[in-house]
Amino acid sequence: MAETRYGTALITGASSGLGYGLALWFAKRGTRVFAAARRLQNLQALAEEARAAGGTVEPVEMDVSRTDETMAHLQKIDADCGGLDLVVANAGVGLDTNGKRFKWERAKQVLEVNVMGAAATLSAVLPQMVERKRGHLVGVSSLAGFRGLPKNAAYSGSKAFLSTFMESLRVDLRGTGVRVTCIYPGFVKTDMTAPNKHPMPFMLEAAEAAELMGKAIVRGQTVFSFPWQTRAAMGVAQALPNAVFDPLMRKLR
């Protein structure tokens, strides 16, 4: 499969972790990257690192949970740069939402970023991409969205939404010239996973995971999940009947 070259790309959640690594990966390959996140200082450090490597990253201070502002911001960037070739909805929040001690404010924050923020990011310039008959939308879901994991009602649910959202877009956009990719990472060493005190098997470094994602995107894969060991385990979990899955999850909790 031939690899695609992108002149321009916008990546959210780029101030750390997967977004930071992915923005740097594309910048080193000649893509003009608009790196969006709330932490401007981190984005400026990313831009400096990219510049030292001969690439171009332009910081974009933005909170995807403010969906109207996000839509307007992306549309302006799209118009100013002559059209975004690639949009990656990577920004995400993971907070404990244990059903026994459920806190709506935590769930609300997760859903505002992972559902509404991701949908706004992916929708902002979709009509323009269809009109141009080119473009690539990428949603960063999670293997945690394959089933409802303990203490993760909001997070698992939000990632399940994103994967189904991307699938419907993929079906609708077939033949338009606009491509759709949904990525399902397993455990990656990021700010989000740092507070977790429990074992996280087959964990990858953020740079390694970003490279895997970047290669899948340029190959035009419609679906990409990694690492294979965690994907296989989640595949088994998907096949388990609830009578087996529920007590197993209670033990893992």
What does 159-214 look like in DSSP terms, one character per residue? HHHHHHHHHHHHHHHTTTTEEEEEEEE--EESTTTTT--S--TT-EEHHHHHHHHH
Q: Taking a C-beta distance cutoff of 8 angstroms, is the pair 28, 55 a contact?
A: yes
127: which residues sit within 8 A by CB, 6+ positions away? none
Which DSSP state fits 240? S
Q: 251 falls in which pLDDT band (50, 70, 90)?
A: confident
CATH number of the domain where residue 202 is located: 3.40.50.720
Run of H or E including 127: helix 126-132
Q: The domain containing residue 83 runs over which residues? A: 8-252
Give the number of domains in the chain.
Answer: 1
| Encoded tokens for 74 | 């992306």
Tens of pLDDT along 126-138?
Answer: 999 999 999 999 9
Q: Is residue 2 assigned to a domain? A: no
Q: Is residue 97 assigned to a domain? A: yes
Q: Taking a C-beta distance cutoff of 8 angstroms, is the pair 85, 8 a contact?
A: yes
The percent of residues in the chain predicted with pLDDT above 70, rounded, is 94
Q: Is residue 1 assigned to a domain? A: no
Q: Is residue 3 assigned to a domain? A: no
Amino acid 231: pLDDT:
85
Q: Is residue 81 assigned to a domain? A: yes
Catalytic center residues: 155
- Main-chain dihedrals φ then ψ at residue 150, nearest 5 degrees: -55, 135
Q: 118 falls in which pLDDT band (50, 70, 90)?
A: very high
**Alpha-carbon gap, residue 71 to 86, rounded angstroms:** 15
